[in-house]
Chain A
Amino acid sequence: MFDKVTVLYLGRQIYFGPCAEAAAYFEELGFERAPRQTTPDFLTSVTSSERLVRAGMEKAVPRTPEEFVQRWKSSALYVNLMKDVRAFDAAYPVGGANVRQLLDAKHFRQTRSQ
Chain B
Amino acid sequence: MERMASESAPESLTSKAASRITINGLPDVPENPFASPVANPLLDPHHQSFSIRAWLTNLTRFTSSAETPFPHQQFGVSFHNLSVSGSTTPTDYQKTVSNIPLALVSLFRRIAGSSSRKIPILHSFDGLIPHGELLLVLGRPGSGCSTLLKTISGDIHGLTIDDGSHLNYQGIPPDQMRRQFRGEAIYMAEHDVHFPQLTVDQTLSFAAKARAPPSGIFPGVTREVFAERLKDVALAAFGLMGVKNTNVGSEMVRGVSGGERKRVSIAEAMLSGAGLQCWDNSTRGLDSANAVEFCRVLKVGAEMAGATAVVALYQAPQVAYDVSPCLG
Interface residues, chain A, with chain B CB atoms under 8 Å away: 1-13, 16, 19-20, 38-41, 43-44, 47-48, 69, 78, 81-82, 84-85, 88-89, 92-99, 101-106, 108-114
Q: Answer yes or no: B15 CB below 8 A from chain A CBs.
A: no
Question: Which single residue of chain A is at the shortest CB-CB distance from B295?
Answer: A1
Q: Answer yes or no: B239 CB below 8 A from chain A CBs.
A: no
Among B71, B145, B173, B318, contact of A38 (Cβ-Cβ < 8 Å): B318
Instruction: Give me 5 A-to-B residue pairs in the complex whose CB atoms sit less than 8 angstroms apart, sorted by A's number.
Output: A5-B321, A13-B125, A69-B123, A85-B80, A95-B173
B173 touches A11 (CB 8 A): no
B213 touches A109 (CB 8 A): yes
Known interface pairs A13-B127, A39-B321; A5-B143 also in contact (CB < 8 Å): no
Question: Which single residue of chain B is at the shortest CB-CB distance from A47?
Answer: B140
A88 touches B214 (CB 8 A): no
By a CB distance below 8 angstroms, the chain A residues around B318 are 38-40
Known interface pairs A3-B133, A20-B323, A110-B214; A8-B71 also in contact (CB < 8 Å): no
B171 touches A102 (CB 8 A): yes
Cα(A94)–Cα(B78), bound, Å: 11
Cα(A89)–Cα(B170), bound, Å: 8
B171 touches A108 (CB 8 A): no
- A1-B327, A105-B70 given; name 13 further pairs at CB < 8 Å: A2-B136, A3-B135, A6-B148, A40-B136, A40-B321, A47-B140, A85-B127, A92-B171, A94-B172, A102-B75, A106-B180, A106-B184, A114-B223
Q: Answer yes or no: B130 CB below 8 A from chain A CBs.
A: yes
Cα(A13)–Cα(B139), bound, Å: 10
By a CB distance below 8 angstroms, the chain A residues around B145 are 8
By a CB distance below 8 angstroms, the chain B residues around A43 are 138
Nearest CB of A to B99, in Å:
32
Q: Answer yes or no: B134 CB below 8 A from chain A CBs.
A: yes
Known interface pairs A1-B321, A11-B121; A108-B140 also in contact (CB < 8 Å): no
